[in-house]
Amino acid sequence: MTPPTGPLGPPAHAPGGEPPDGLRRFARIWCRAVYADTATSMTRAEFEELMTGLARLLADALHGRPFDPSPGRAVGEALVAAHCTVPEALPRVLGVVDAYLPLYCSDPAELPADEARIRSTRLQHAIAAGYAAALQERTRAEQEALSRAALSAQQEIARALHESETRFRAVFKDAALGIALADMSGRVLDVNDALARMFGGSEHHVRSRNILEWTHPEDPPEIWRMQRELMRGEREHFQVEKSYGRSDGTALWTNLTVSLLRAANGEPRYMLAMVEDVSERRLLNLRLRYQATHDALTDLPNRSLFFERLEQALSRASDTARIGLCYLDLDGFKAVNDSLGHAVGDQLLIAVAERLHGCASGPGQMLARIGGDEFVALVLDPPSPGTVTELAERALYALSTPVDVGGRELMVRASIGVVEGPARHLSSAEMLRSADITMYRAKAEGGNRYAVADPDSDARAISRHHLTHHLPAALKGAEFFIEYQPLVKMEDGSLEGAEALVRWSHPRHGVLGPDRFIPLAEHTGLIVPLGRWVLQEAVRQACEWQVRGIGGPRPLKVNVNLSPRQLHHPELVEDTISVLEEAGLPPSSLCLEVTETAMIRADENELRPLRQLAELGVGIALDDFGTGYSNLANLRRLPATTLKLDRSFTLGLQRAPADPVDLKIVEGIVSLAHTLELSVTVEGVETSTQADRLRELGCDSAQGWFYARPGPPERLPEAV
Ligand code: C2E
Ligand code: CA
Ligand code: CA
């Protein structure tokens, strides 16, 4: 390009020189017109710089001598290179050149305005031509790149396909997993070596059959449901444990996964089965399960297998209608173990297991060893109740000949509890408990025999067990309450006090009398907290009566029963005193009733607490007197203040005429008691005749239905 000369002040093209103002302005307008539409990554400033350069080219060309429009082409090409390629870009560029190039970039002194306009137009043509040519070139280049890319992509796909195909082939052929490919009708298209090997080596055997024929009697039904769903295209895959019959008759256990393969358009095309041989694992599992469910010593089913079977039979789903159990426990096995050693004991158990096994190996029968020397025979659906007792008889007979253990002849005896009944009603634990209770009955009757469960004695034992179990919660949950039975002065029939009688309001069994649970509470020791609660509550109640002035001027007393275990409790005295003090009841208003039997058995140490309480003024009554056959002379050493004559004595006085012997006895006791300065209370007075006679005999007070039955504390004021 020839350097322009002329009127543009400092030469517009001076390399590195500052562009003149006009040129700058033109470039800025140009930039504003096209920058927003370019796809360039240049910043606006950079773009403006570029435009300034192009503007300088155009300005120089405008003044060129001779005029040469070709720099216009270069400008067009440069615009395409700068990504000014949106459809509106070229018209805008030409518009700006047309309007502003002659205005800002020409010197009228050098170039007449008309000439400038003509040159500008020619430059525009050149720009447009360069632009179009560059655009065309670029499109062609892009197309070329695209098709080159497409071509190489195609080559890539083919290579990948081939690779995945070989990979698939390799996997298919060399896999340890058995693989089979079938079409949607189930026809086998291909199987790999592993699958053929699993089935015994013959590929033909595997290929020749439709997969729908690969059934096995142990197939769970859902296999074939899922298979059909898959074949209808409703399921993509499923996985099951399935066995197959091999041609040699053995079973092949597999973990089978079947997947649906679809074509590109989504149509179900193939089924792919992957088969893992799990026969070994299954065998191992079976072996482990056998070990877990069998007794290592005798090889008999163990306790857990026995319960599993029993529970199965008792479950709702089972169609077992009746169940029989023989619960067998060896008599005196501990002695054998202790005197002859465990090795001999073990040998004996093995021999016993063998003999018993022979007795309970019929259909629906199972013999298990469920504890040291405890065996149980389970009979499902015994044809008759007799079947189970016959089994027990057979078992006893089988054990009746001596067992030879290491050259020693040992006698074996056993006790058996037999239970037989409908499967619906009992739980497995209840059934075994019933059998256990019954077995103990057989033992208690001398052993070497069987006993048959009887619902009544069982029910008693079971409910005893149940109540014992629930006592602690009942005490916590405040299920106990107290009824009071009036004690009446015989002299005038006035109310003297009341005996506190505890009851249990059981959530399932209703109100239970003390006879049902006091012995259990006594047995478990729970009587101590229960007795303390009764004492507290009765003392509080007596206080309330006294405060309310019930029973007239004399303060009402309360009688509380003490059981033998409480008698021996070290804190009896302290507890009683603190209960009285807390409530503010005078000791003389409390009478503790202790049965004659308990009191007679107590030695001096055990009597000391009672004596201390008596010294404090607490009344001590000898309850149920006359049932303990005590030596009357003994009465003197007891710390008692009152005799409570048992109901059995007053019964004879109900009759008319009264039994003369009873009359004499009662008369004697009353007079002896009075000599010892004991007052006499009679229990169980049910009729007025009785009441009259007892009064005549000198009894001091009475208690019984004739006066009032035990009732809630609010009823006491109206009782007499
Ligand atoms: P118990 O001390 O001999 O109590 C008298 C029992 O005879 C009460 O029975 C009472 O309801 C009953 N009875 C009262 N009058 C008559 C009558 O005219 N005819 C007949 N046939 N029976 C009558 P309950 O309430 O069943 O108490 C039974 C036993 O339970 C009591 O005999 C007592 O030994 C014991 N007991 C009651 N409450 C407690 C307590 O809080 N602690 C302890 N350790 N034992 C208690
Ligand atoms: Ca009593
Ligand atoms: Ca009594």
* End residue of a domain, out of 108, 138, 170: 170
pLDDT, tens digit (0-9, with 9 covering 90-100), for 202-225: 777 778 888 888 888 888 889 999
Which region among 171-175, 177-181, 462-466 has the lowest average model confidence (pLDDT)? Answer: 462-466
**Cα–Cα distance for residue pair 8/284, rounded to 1 Å:** 102
Please, what is the average pLDDT of the chain?
87
pLDDT, tens digit (0-9, with 9 covering 90-100), for 623-682: 998 876 666 667 888 999 999 999 988 888 887 787 888 888 889 889 989 998 999 999
326 and 403, same domain (yes or no):
yes
Does the CB atom of residue 563 touch ligand 1 within 6 A? Answer: yes
237 and 108, same domain (yes or no):
no
Per-residue pLDDT for 552 more than 70? yes
Mean pLDDT of 282-296: 84
Per-residue pLDDT for 699 more than 50? yes
Q: Does residue 657 have a cis bond before it (omega within 30 degrees)?
A: yes
* End residue of a domain, out of 249, 283, 317: 283
Mean pLDDT of 111-132: 86
Distance in Å, CA 593 to ligand 3 centroid:
8
Instruction: Give the helix/strand (H/E) hosting 319.
Output: none
pLDDT at 135: 79
pTM: 0.47
Domain interval for residue 689: 487-500+528-719
In a domain, 463, yes or no: no
Asked whether 648 and 626 are in contact (CB, 8 A), the reply is yes
Per-residue pLDDT for 74 more than 60? yes
96 and 234, same domain (yes or no):
no
**Cα–Cα distance for residue pair 659/653, rounded to 1 Å:** 6
The bound ligand whose nearest atom lies closest to the alpha carbon of 563 is: 1
Q: Within 13 A of 289's CA, how many CA atoms are on the CB side?
A: 8
pLDDT at 566: 93
336 and 438, same domain (yes or no):
yes
pLDDT at 604: 86
Q: What is the DSSP string of 365-413?
A: EEEEEEETTEEEEEEES-SSHHHHHHHHHHHHHHTSSPEEETTEEE--E
Q: What are phi and psi of 204, to 5 degrees?
A: -60, -45
Q: What are phi and psi of 613, to 5 degrees?
A: -65, -40
15 and 156, same domain (yes or no):
yes
Number of domains in the chain: 4
10 and 158, same domain (yes or no):
yes
Which region among 183-197, 274-288, 360-374, 670-684 has the lowest average model confidence (pLDDT)? Answer: 274-288
Around ion ligand 2, which residues have CB less than 5 A away? 561, 593, 623
Does the CB atom of residue 686 touch ligand 1 within 6 A? Answer: yes
Mean pLDDT of 479-484: 96
The bound ligand whose nearest atom lies closest to the alpha carbon of 621 is: 2
The amino acid that residue 116 corresponds to is A
pLDDT: which is higher, 533 or 161: 533
Does the CB atom of residue 646 touch ligand 1 within 6 A? Answer: no
pLDDT: which is higher, 488 or 91: 488
Distance in Å, CA 490 to ligand 2 centroid:
18
pLDDT at 572: 95
Please choose from 537, 561, 596 the residue to mutate so as to test ligand 1's pocket, defined by most ligand atoms within 8 A of CB.
561
Does the CB atom of residue 564 touch ligand 1 within 6 A? Answer: no
In a domain, 518, yes or no: no
Which region among 471-480, 560-569, 613-622 has the lowest average model confidence (pLDDT)? Answer: 471-480
CATH number of the domain bearing residue 325: 3.30.70.270
**What is the chain's length?**
720
In a domain, 28, yes or no: yes
Distance in Å, CA 709 to ligand 2 centroid:
14
Report which protein residue has its CA nearest ligand 1's atom 37.
501
What are the residues facing 179 on neighbouring strands?
274
Measure the N-to-C terminal CA separation of the chain; round to a whole number of Å: 143
Q: How confident is the model at residue 16 (pLDDT cuts 50, 70, 90)?
A: very low
Mean pLDDT of 6-29: 64
CATH number of the domain bearing residue 592: 3.20.20.450
Mean pLDDT of 440-468: 80
pLDDT: which is higher, 647 or 170: 647
Per-residue pLDDT for 713 more than 60? yes
393 and 442, same domain (yes or no):
yes
Report which protein residue has its CA nearest ligand 1's atom 10.
710
Report which protein residue has its CA nearest ligand 1's atom 35.
514
In a domain, 226, yes or no: yes
